[in-house]
Structure 1
Amino acid sequence: MASPNPKEIVAEIPTYIRVFSDGTVERPRETPFVPPSIDDPQTGVSSKDIVISQNPLVSARIYLPKLTTINQVPILVFFHGGGFFFESAFSQLYHHHFNTFVSQTNCIVVSVEYRLAPEHPLPACYLDCWEALKWVASHSSENSPINAEQWLISHGNFQRVFIGGDSAGGNIVHNIAMRAGTEPLPCGVKLLGAIFAHPYFCSSYPIGSEPVTGHEQSLPYVVWDFVYPSVPGGIDNPMVNPVAPGAPSLAELGCSKIIVCVASEDKLRDRGVWYYEAVKKSGWKGDLELFEENGEDHVYHIFHPESENATKLIKRLGLFLNE
């Protein structure tokens, strides 16, 4: 006899996510979670998991390089990719990447675990990531937060605070940098720079090499509808289309330096260049750089952090953080 309430798929992005009638969600592409580690045997990097906020729950994995002296190093607050609906700061993929990245760049990374859609539609992730950045900034005062993190107090250089993210995380970087342009961070902390790695943007019209026919069925378009179905303006909301009519000027980006990283084989490559050109034309006063790698696809440096081209990109980002 058939079940009176069969479990049916009510929404999906094939191979990425399925939402069922009973509220359960499957994320087939998500990599397994792994624990943090003190003194990683390959890199010497230490990591631990921390709680930033209880309501809503925002947490992070913080990474500390192997320090030979009690020195202050740059702080990178990082927002992971995954279309706003999968992956994690605690996943094997990002943990492996950051052990390699931190050992080569000599910075503290606070990799934020923000709430995911569809259980928590946007703008939840933007709110969580802003709270995380504020929490980090609050450590620069003698009156640190109640849940203060000693690694930040002892080793963080609050003159060198950065944000960064890949793919959807690069979109979050844009939205956090725009907010930082109009809203002060605690203790007078200024955001020094922003790293956009293969950032996710979209619009109602195709650009560059994007196909003209079927644009509304393309993955970037479908993802936005899935993660933020109620957003005013849809795919031309300024959060995803920074040059939409009525969007705030990119001249308001609240940092002093930006690097936009793209890869020649990435379907989001032209959007990254589009964003770089839009910032350049906006009158924004900071230092702006475009870094392109030929022959590589989307977030190659996250998937293969020890590869030759990933090593090249990480070295460039190390200079960006430390120069």
Structure 2
Amino acid sequence: MASQTFPEVFISPSVASTDKEVAKELLPLLRVYKDGSVERLLGSPVVPPSSPDPETGVSTKDITISTHPNISARIYLPNLPQTNANDKKLPILVYFHGGGFCLESAFSFLDHRYLNRLASETGVLAVSVEYRLAPESPLPAAYDDSWAALQWVANHSGLEQVLVQQEPWLVSHGDFGRLYIGGDSAGANIVHNVALRAGTESESLPCNVKIHGAFLAHPYFWGSKPIGSEPKEGFENALERLVWDFAYPSASWGIDNLMINPVSGGGAPSLAGLGCSRMLVCVAGKDRLRERGVWYYEAVKESGWKGEVELFEVEEEDHAFHIYNIDSHNANVMIKRLASFLV
């Protein structure tokens, strides 16, 4: 595709009837028809869970978090030594996938492969959230679903809590003193907004659970004016802006909404209120979103936030390279950096 901000390795052929009328398009990502149907032109295929994965030994299964609205997840359990398989407590990672809020899935091939590798390398118990996508469910649906999923996970830490859908892997193996959130691209944007929400007095997590750390890999932030080395020509019609307008057409302040422009957006709260103790911001040198990621890192560092924030850059790579080219040397370097953070 022309922009390298949301690259995909699978291109779906058009299967829609030629006599259907197009209502709107967000090319090269998707097309909406007047009958309400949506054709996603890019993405990777949905794959089933595997127990265990033949390459990593990680076991996976799909779980239901909520039916109103529909929120589900794929949970990843690393291969545990038999000597302590029943009492080993693992860090918990609640993960939010990328795709511009309108593509991909927690059950897609790319994310399944990536989370298998990440769980294997880091030894975390990962919960990859299947949030609702735009345009069928415009933002803030994805934010609300992600927050609800994090609350559901946190509820498992209270033995007195009685859950309708209790997940035994979380109860048996989850260490709620080491709860992390993480995501890539749009998922990293969700991480920021969830962390801010967790830092407010009225929105704290159940059972007094705290977010120990958060990683934002190649975060999707944008604004109405270019910063740093961002190209000024064509900026107003950049895909990054069109994606946001498509996913959240009712957003106050538009592309300067605080959820997409956390540094200088309209009415943006102080980043000092982030509800986690540690943060890792990852950027890639050839990524169109690099400047925003560095800008965000600097803003967090200077905000008065009491936590520890780090920046990690792979200069010669592009957006989400560690997901698309997972067997490359630099992807291995990236995953090992995440592993050193998720301890």
TM-score between both structures, scaled by the size of structure 2: 0.91
| Residue number among 41, 44, 49 corresponding to 1:28 in the alignment | 41
> For residue 100 of structure 1, what is the aligned residue in structure 2?
117
Task: Give the 3 Å change call, closer, same or farther, for CA 117–38 of structure 1 in structure 2.
Answer: same
Identity %: 60
Do structure 1's residue 157 and structure 2's residue 178 form an aligned pair? no
Within 5 A, what are the aligned runs for 1:199-214? Answer: 199-214=219-234
TM-score between both structures, scaled by the size of structure 1: 0.97
CA displacement, residues 19-40 of structure 1 (integer Å, 9 cap, x when unaligned) = 1111111111111100001111
> For residue 96 of structure 2, what is the aligned residue in structure 1?
79
> For residue 291 of structure 1, what is the aligned residue in structure 2?
312
Instruction: List structure 1 runs of 4+ shifted beyond 6 angstroms.
Output: none
Shift of 1:144: 4.2
Count of residue pairs brought into register by the alignment: 318
Shift of 1:99: 1.1
| Contact 2:253/2:266 (<8 A) preserved | no
| Residue number among 273, 286, 298 corresponding to 1:265 in the alignment | 286
Measured in 1, the distance between the counterparts of 2:34 and 2:74 equals 33
Higher mean C-alpha displacement, 84-93 vs 66-75: 66-75
> For residue 272 of structure 2, what is the aligned residue in structure 1?
251
Tell me, what secondary structure is at the counterpart of 1:154?
helix
| Residue number among 277, 300, 305 corresponding to 2:298 in the alignment | 277
| Contact 2:94/2:180 (<8 A) preserved | yes
Tell me, what secondary structure is at the counterpart of 1:314?
helix
Shift of 1:162: 0.7
Measured in 1, the distance between the counterparts of 2:164 and 2:80 equals 26
Amino acid at match of 1:168: A
Shift of 1:213: 2.4
CA displacement, residues 103-139 of structure 1 (integer Å, 9 cap, x when unaligned) = 1110011000000000000000000000000000000
Tell me, what secondary structure is at the counterpart of 2:156?
helix
| Contact 2:29/2:40 (<8 A) preserved | yes
| Contact 2:278/2:309 (<8 A) preserved | yes
Do structure 1's residue 237 and structure 2's residue 257 form an aligned pair? yes
> For residue 179 of structure 1, what is the aligned residue in structure 2?
197
What is the root-mean-square deviation in Å for CA atoms of aligned residues? 1.1
Structure 1: runs of 5+ lacking an equivalent: none
Shift of 1:209: 1.6
Higher mean C-alpha displacement, 244-253 vs 107-116: 244-253
Tell me, what secondary structure is at the counterpart of 2:135?
coil
| Contact 1:140/1:153 (<8 A) preserved | yes
Amino acid at match of 1:200: Y
Measured in 1, the distance between the counterparts of 2:144 and 2:30 equals 23
> For residue 141 of structure 1, what is the aligned residue in structure 2?
158
Higher mean C-alpha displacement, 63-72 vs 304-313: 304-313
Measured in 1, the distance between the counterparts of 2:73 and 2:29 equals 24
Amino acid at match of 1:221: R
Measured in 1, the distance between the counterparts of 2:180 and 2:52 equals 24
Amino acid at match of 2:109: Q
Measured in 1, the distance between the counterparts of 2:22 and 2:281 equals 37
Tell me, what secondary structure is at the counterpart of 2:283?
strand
Amino acid at match of 2:303: S
Tell me, what secondary structure is at the counterpart of 1:59?
strand
| Residue number among 205, 225, 230 corresponding to 2:245 in the alignment | 225
Measured in 2, the distance between the counterparts of 1:110 and 1:231 equals 28
